[in-house]
Amino acid sequence: MRRFPPQRIVCLTEETVETLYLLGEEDRIVGVSGYAVRPARVRREKPRVSAFTSADMPKILALEPDLVFTFSDLQADIAAALIREGIAVHAFNQRDVAGILAMIRTVGALVGAAEKAKALARGYEGRLAAITKAGAGRARPRVFFEEWDEPLISGIGWVSELVSIAGGDDVFAGLAREKAAKDRIVAPQRVIEAAPDVILASWCGKKVRPEKIAARPGWETIPAVRDGRIVEIKSPLILQPGPAALTDGLDAILAALRG
């Protein structure tokens, strides 16, 4: 970085945007991902400079950022292009709850707001612990989290953990450790055999159609389908590994499991 703390930050994914706003450091943000929607005012306040796997490089460079936040291997080419242009880049790769909390603390440290970030993360840790404790002793429904429909993709690490914290058991918890979506593809027959009590679906920017899920061949025998317990969770709430998942995303899971 040319200066510390950085005064001009571009965020190419949602979760670092939300974190900076929660820390009261939003004035540092000069450009955001087109998927940034939290808080709602970000769409009015900050220019959009990227999608997820593509970015408007001239627009980013014109903003003269001190630092750019990226996420995952899917943005590796964007990060490399920025680095070749002499831009400082921090690439996050969190895939579980611990990683989300570490991201929050890291963002805070990088902008000179370490203590505020520690307090924010500790608050989330306390809430997660309290929810876990409150659910002790309750019956635990079996849950299939559907991250995509064609092919069927089961939930990633932080999603599986939040299902557990909310009091459910992810029927494909073993796959949640797989970072790549292609490694979490499941055959429809495996879902039938797993017999989930609840199906949670979030199709990453595409509206979930519960009737389409229920109409899959053989799925009428699944308890979740039989009992009408197919629930959509909006992707900005649960598929962004940041504060949204730990708050509104977790609340949506809780409501679905207790409904």
pLDDT digits (tens, 9 = 90+) for 150-167: 999 999 999 999 999 999
Task: Tell me phi and psi for residue 198, to 5 degrees.
Answer: -135, 140
Q: Is the pTM of this model over 0.85?
A: yes
Radius of gyration of the CA atoms of the chain, in A? 19
Q: Residue 99 corresponds to which tokens in the numbers above? A: 């990683």
pLDDT value of residue 203? 94
- Report how far residue 67's alpha carbon sits from residue 75's, in angstroms, rounded to the nearest whole number: 15
Reported as a single tens digit per residue, the pLDDT across 86-141 is: 999 999 999 999 999 999 999 999 999 999 999 999 999 999 999 999 999 899 99
Phi-psi region of 201 (alpha: psi -120 to 50; beta: other; left: phi over 0): beta
Reported as a single tens digit per residue, the pLDDT across 18-43 is: 999 999 999 999 999 999 999 999 99
Q: Residue 255 corresponds to which tokens in the numbers above? A: 């409501």
- Taking the mean position of all CA atoms in its chain, how far away is CA 177? 15
pLDDT value of residue 222? 98
- Report how far residue 34's alpha carbon sits from residue 29's, in angstroms, rounded to the nearest whole number: 14
- Report how far residue 184's alpha carbon sits from residue 155's, in angstroms, rounded to the nearest whole number: 8
